[in-house]
Structure 1
C-alpha cells in the first residue's frame, strides 16, 4: 500500500539526510544515530529513560516538556507495537488509489510528460475523473520523486520511502508482545523487536568509539556487512532505514480502471511513439488521440 504524502511529510524526509550528517559531524561519530528534532529519536529517548534507566516518569516529562498523558500515549504505542509504535503516523493526503496508480503508470511510460498533461489524461478516465485535479496529481508525483524539478536519484529515494511506510503499517498491525509496565527494565528488550535492537545498536556505537563496532555487532547478532549497509541507508533515511523495506507485490488497478485505460495506452503508443518525421504531425496525432478517447469512453 503506497501513500500520497502531505507537503509537510515530504519536507520532513527531505531534511533527514542533512540532519544526520550534521549530528555525525557535531558528535564526531562515524556511526549515525542522533537526528535533531526527529520524532523517532525524541520518542525513543524519553521511553528509554523511563524504562531502561529508571528515571521517574514525572522527571522524563519535565525534561522533554511533554504532559503525562502524552507520555502514556507514547508508552501505550511502545507496549503494543514495539519500536515501530514510536514512529509518526503519516496519513494519506487523499485516498485515491486508482488515481495514484494511473499517475505513476503514465509518468513511468512518459517521464517527460508535464503534470498538466497527466492531469488531462486522468481527467479523461472515468474511474479517476472524480478525484483528478492538478494539485493532487502534483502531490502524487512529488510523493514518488517524479516531478520535473526532482533531482536524479529522487525516484529511488521516494520509492524506498513508500516501501518503508508500507512495511511500517504492516508491522504495526502485527504488534510485539512481551513488554510489561510493571517490569519495565526487565522487558524493555524483546528479541522479536528487530527495529528496536538495531536502533539501540546504533545508539551504543554512536556514543562510543568506532573501535567498538565489531563486538557490539556480535552482541546484537548483526553481521558487519549488514551493519555497514544500514549505516549507508541511515545516512539517507535516518531511523527509517532500520525498518525493512521489502519489495512489495505488484500493484493492480481495479478492473474498471484497467479496462478504461488500456485502449488509450495502445492508441497513445501508436500515435506518439511514431518517428516525428512521419506523415503524422504532432497536432494531427493529438486530434486522433482525443477522438479515440471519446470513442472508447462513451
Structure 2
C-alpha cells in the first residue's frame, strides 16, 4: 500500500461508510447517475485515450469511460478497498479488460508522469487534505495538453437533501455542511474551485453549474431506510435508544415525502462541473 495523507478519509472509506457504498453501489449510482452524461460530455473521451478516474468508488464512471475509450487504458483510483473490490467485480462481469483499479490517495499516489490524456471525477475530489497539492499531482500525471473534467457539489442551498438532513437536528448533531470546510462542500464556491486548479498549474479553467435530479428510493420509506445506513445518520443512531431511532426514521421519511414522484423519490441536486487543461509547455 502506498502513502496515505488523508488518514480520516482512509479510515471512513475502509470502514462502515466504504462498506455501505460498496453494498449499495446501485443505490448511490441512482443518486448520482444523472450527472454522468454532463461529466462524460465535458471529458470528450476519444477511442484509445488513457483516462484517470479520481475517487472512482465502485467504478461506474470508470466503466463508462472504458467504453468510451475502447482500446485505451482506464485507471480508477480510490481509497476504499471495499468499493474497489466491488468495482473489479463489476468490470469483470461487464468484460471490460481495459478498466483497472488501484487503491491510493490521489494527493500523493505515484501516478505515472504524462501517463493520461484525461482525468475525470464524479464527486471524488472534495475530500483532499491539501487540494492544491492533490491537483498538482494529478496535473503531473496528465500529458501536456491533457484535459480535466470534475464534478463537485454546489452550495448547500441548491441541494435538496441538505434540507432533509436538517430535519434530524432535534435528535442530535448532524453535519452543518459549511462551504469551504473539509468535506462534501469544500469546493462549493466556484471562485475557490477555479483558484485551486489555477494554483495547481492548470489553465483554461472554467466552472459550469449542472443541475440534475437525484433518486434516493422507490418511496419515502424506502429512501429513509437507505439513508439511515449512511455515515451522518448512522453516527446519530449509534447514540440513540430504540425509541429515538424510531423517531429519527419517521422524521427522515416525513422529510422525504414531499419529494415522492411516480419515478421515485427525486431530490434536486446541483454541482459545479470544472474543466481545465494542463499547459503544453
Shorter-chain TM-score: which interval? under 0.3
TM-score by length of 2: 0.22
**Which gives a bigger RCO, structure 1 or 2 (Cα 8 Å, sep 6+)?**
1
The structure that is helix-richer by fraction is 1
The structure in which a higher percent of residues are strand is: 2
TM-score (norm 1): 0.21
User: In terms of Rg, which structure is larger?
Assistant: 1
